Amino acid sequence: MKILMIVVIMAMFQEAEPFINRLGLQKIVSNLDKQLPIEVFKGKVNESDVVLIVNGKDKRFGVDNVGTQPATLSTYLAINNFNPDLLMNAGTAGGFHAKGADIGDVYIGSDFIRFHDRRIPIPGFKEYGVGSYKVPDFDQFATDLGLKKGIISTGNSLDIIPKDLEMIKANEAVIKDMEAAAIAWVAELYNIPLITLKSITDLVDSKKPTQDEFMKNLSLASENLQKKLIAAINFCAGKTINEIIDRA
């Protein structure tokens, strides 16, 4: 089956803006759910429809709806409304310099996507908390597009406490974000392939405060993200999933 409907989920408008502009996506009046601030944009690449979902602003706090709950909601609604052949989650993230990450690098999530702040030390629940959603083998795809590969770990905080760091290390993660594992959970429930692209705004293992680095590097990272995201969409549009995933 060909990939003819691609849905891209992004948390922040600033992350999405260069992508919207470059692809000339049009904002549509969304009938997803009137109660939710989710924004929907539409466009076309080759023969594929491309729908971008941005989580919108919190009604009370006026800031972007980052984190796992909005990501879960918008992924569920996107799947129900647009029936995607392929899901993509694109955004910014923290990276570990010791594991090869630099500011502005764009990574594709590989191997597994995991949670680092759902600690439930009861047999069975422990593994459920970490999630470990399997990512298909995108080696050739990553090489062709010049993407670095790494395990993503998701939690609901931008900063980091020692326990999170311990979990991220146990998760063997190179990338730290706030949405990917939530999206991966919904994608797994509906058996829809997910490609995760993350552009590095800050280095988790540097001395500089994460929020300062994030703000300083957000536009560079979003620009780099846009380039790889469009290349990825061009690569996938009209192909079958089997043509994208490596065969053993």
Q: Is 167 in the site for ligand SAH (CB under 6 A)?
A: no
Within a 10 A sphere around the Cβ of 102, how many other Cβ atoms? 10
- Cα–Cα distance measured from residue 111 to residue 126, given in angstroms and rounded to the nearest whole number: 19
Q: Is 7 in the site for ligand SAH (CB under 6 A)?
A: no
| Site map (CB under 6 A) of ligand SAH, residues 36-75, x = contact | ---------------------------x--x---------
Q: Is 179 in the site for ligand SAH (CB under 6 A)?
A: yes
Q: Are 194 and 187 in contact (CB under 8 A)?
A: yes
Q: Is 109 in the site for ligand SAH (CB under 6 A)?
A: no
Helix (H, G, I), strand (E, B) or coil at 68: helix
Compute φ and ψ for 55, nearest 5 degrees: -70, -15
Q: Is 30 in the site for ligand SAH (CB under 6 A)?
A: no
Instruction: Decide whether 12 or 244 has the Cβ nearer to ligand SAH.
Output: 12
Position of tokens 């988790």?
A: 204
Of the ranges 102-110, 122-130, 140-148, 174-182, which one interacts with ligand SAH (CB under 6 A)?
174-182
User: For residue 14, which of 160, 241, 223, 235 has the smallest C-alpha distance?
Assistant: 223
Known active-site residue 15: yes
Q: State the catalytic residue, choosing from 15, 105, 117, 179.
A: 15
Q: Is 105 in the site for ligand SAH (CB under 6 A)?
A: no
Q: Do the strands 26-28 and 39-45 form a parallel or antiparallel pair, or are they unpaired?
A: antiparallel
User: For residue 52, which of 230, 244, 239, 231 has the smallest C-alpha distance?
Assistant: 230
Tell the smallest beta-carbon distance from residue 137 to ligand SAH (Å).
24
Of the ranges 1-9, 128-136, 185-193, 200-208, which one interacts with ligand SAH (CB under 6 A)?
200-208
Q: Is 204 in the site for ligand SAH (CB under 6 A)?
A: yes
The token pair at 198 is 């993350």
Q: State the catalytic residue, choosing from 85, 117, 202, 213.
A: 202
The residue from 176, 184, 194, 225 that contacts ligand SAH (CB under 6 A) is 176
Enumerate residues 73-102 that contact ligand SAH by CB under 6 A.
91-94
Residue 159, by phi and psi: left (phi above 0), alpha (psi -120 to 50) or beta? beta
Q: How many residues does the chain have?
A: 248
Tell the smallest beta-carbon distance from residue 50 to ligand SAH (Å).
21
For residue 93, list its beta bridge partners: 200
Residue 239, by phi and psi: left (phi above 0), alpha (psi -120 to 50) or beta? beta
Within a 10 A sphere around the Cβ of 247, how many other Cβ atoms? 7
The residue from 3, 9, 11, 54 that contacts ligand SAH (CB under 6 A) is 11
The residue from 39, 117, 164, 177 that contacts ligand SAH (CB under 6 A) is 177
Binding site for ligand SAH (CB under 6 A): 11-12, 63, 66, 91-94, 158, 176-179, 201-202, 204, 210-211, 214
